[in-house]
Amino acid sequence: MTELLKSKLLDSIRSYFEPTDEKIANAYLQDLGLTWDFLKDKSILDIGAGSGGFAHAAKRRGVEIIPLDEDPQWWKTRGMFYKHVPYVQGTAFHLPFLDESFDLIISREAVEYMVFPKVNEDKRMSLQEIRDGIERNFRQLLPEVLRVLRPNGEFRFDIGVWGWALYTTEESSLQALEKEKSDPEFRKQRAEKIAQRSLEFLQSIYPHITMHTPPDETGDDRKNYFRMIKSCTVLY
Ligand SMILES: C[S@@+](CC[C@H](N)C(=O)[O-])C[C@H]1O[C@@H](n2cnc3c(N)ncnc32)[C@H](O)[C@@H]1O
């Protein structure tokens, strides 16, 4: 057995026995390019926290994270067993915290749900209406996040795969989705275009947002995360 195969096998055995909150924590660290060292001694809010698993795994390492979610269903099925971690029910659009409360606000695989416009079942929305709704909601979300961030604080988030496709035109077509399955080079170029457009979209709302690629072990070339630093001169 080659060394690579051996280490992959060991990884999957380890991951099978790993507690769920540790798996969630690893996904957060990987997707948002975070390290435990970076998180130490910061006051941190996780918006759209799901079960709160990241906060629970963090507590074990002396890192304090407050999980917030508008719908506590994941917490009810899994997270309520996570002891010693507070859980806040609330929406990211009206955060129940005082101004300048946090050094860091994180959000993993949740912002795309927050900003996706509520779909009225009686009426089909056009792609343009969906994009307009996403932009409107982003413009509402960001000032609220900035309000509770301390000066020089940071919002770090990803916007998910299907969220990205909505910010583009030809890349979101069904033909493109089909073609990328059999054409890795096309898939790579499409992912790069989508990432660039996503960044342009976000920067049109807040020019200081930057895009970063985490160390990628899975080969999923679409995953990027975004950083927004609250500069002292921003008025909101
Ligand atoms: C796919 S889950 C991600 C959970 C967690 N971040 C993780 O990575 O395991 C998305 C979460 O976002 C939450 N969410 C959606 N809209 C929200 C809003 N406006 N305010 C707070 N949470 C919201 C949902 O309730 C859901 O728990």
The reply to whether ligand 1 has any atom less than 6 angstroms from the CB of 48 is: yes
pLDDT at 14: 64
pLDDT at 55: 96
Q: What's the whole-number average pLDDT of the chain? A: 86
Tell if the pTM clears 0.85, that is, is over it: yes
The reply to whether ligand 1 has any atom less than 6 angstroms from the CB of 144 is: no
pLDDT tens per residue across span 154-201: 999 998 766 666 666 676 677 877 888 888 888 888 878 888 888 988
Range of the domain at 172: 161-220
**113 and 171 housed in the same domain:** no
Task: Please say which residue of 112, 129, 158 terminates a domain.
Answer: 158
CA–centroid distance, 186 to ligand 1, in Å, is 31
**61 and 111 housed in the same domain:** yes
pLDDT tens per residue across span 1-13: 677 788 777 767 7
3-state secondary structure (DSSP) of residue 156: strand
CA–centroid distance, 106 to ligand 1, in Å, is 11
Q: Are 145 and 206 in contact (CB under 8 A)?
A: no
Task: Please say which residue of 158, 173, 192 terminates a domain.
Answer: 158
Domain with residue 27: its CATH number is 3.40.50.150
The reply to whether ligand 1 has any atom less than 6 angstroms from the CB of 116 is: no
Atom of ligand 1 nearest to the CA of 107: 6
Number of domains in the chain: 2
What are 120's two structure tokens?
């009225």
CA–centroid distance, 109 to ligand 1, in Å, is 7
Site to substitute for ligand 1 among 71, 88, 116, 137, most atoms within 8 A of C-beta: 71
